[in-house]
A and B are shown apart, each in its own frame.
Chain A
């Protein structure tokens, strides 16, 4: 049974066109011109209870606009959304009790007072029963390691601490759906791991449905069974993450540093054109069907003294770019009006 149903969802914004050239500022002021831009265009998807779905796409693709419509603070231009049987923008208050939201760039914590005080405020705001509140605090503070700073004012917290506290605050009322907008942005590896573990745990034990936007591939790897890819407002892919990566990430890049510069001829005989040289560093592109990373490194070991090896997998933005170039028209559409 789908908890989220989105049907041919479209959001169109009017925005002013800024001219350039002589007297442009004057013209913009006196005769503003506008264009219509579809931030989200005919998007369809359904999400079942208990799924963790990654909602990904480049900056400005329409992710946040979609999420804003799902939480009820933006009205669709056309199409429909139903969240647990409710139309979010018509039932904003009712919907707000059933959802938890964390925007990575913002905080809902009260800035000048200890974290715990915000948690207590949440208790009154969402009318959380005392027992549920205490139990959630106990479990969450343990998994997230919040106890150590629960009495510190929020403005004195590090970003990682603040993010953990924000996550906790968003889940105290046992929301059915959790929206996370870049929850791991700017966090160190350790905290990222902790945040992911927490999301996973909440999803497992409470069947919380999670919608997550991110630019971090490992977030998707570790959390999501399914991804939705959006670009320029259109949904381009809906399905398995593995399939997406296998088909649209074309290559890995191996960077090898040797103690002396490798002769270019030698490199060319092994890698043809799939390499670039940068002094003692050498970047090699490995296409999985033709070559393997292990063979490549073995070759370097045979032919020189290795100082350092780095393997970089295609990141998700690159995957999306590849996806994009497979399907898309070469030019961007622009309307006017």
Chain B
């Protein structure tokens, strides 16, 4: 199922969703975004600013923002927080040595950023095609996801390279945004 058919499933009343994609450099954010829109993923460079993909369907718009994850760029993440409906956090599952750094960055986002309060979190445990990849369960323990009580979270094992697990993750995200919208009414 493509992203478009997922979008089609959204209620018409939910006109727009803004999705913010964050994570350390080299996690695979841009690759995921390209794979989701079925674009070529062979020549992807580190993102210096941001990429945005907008998809329109039946008066509905999903705006996906992919921001560069290099250390020098991270302070600018906050410029993108306004009106975020869902947060996608991408982790390189094979980069065990940086899991603690991921934990610190993610905890900062979730506990200190007023604008992201209550926003559902989808963690993509990416690069599952690599032999050394940790399982999604291990990543969830490593990132202390169980300590998050103020929002919905979901961890999805995936490989952007093989386009595995991406649709499942997005399906959860759309359902959860939809559910949250219906609650606001």
Do A and B pair up? The answer is: no
Interface residues of A (CB under 8 A from B): none
Interface residues of B (CB under 8 A from A): none
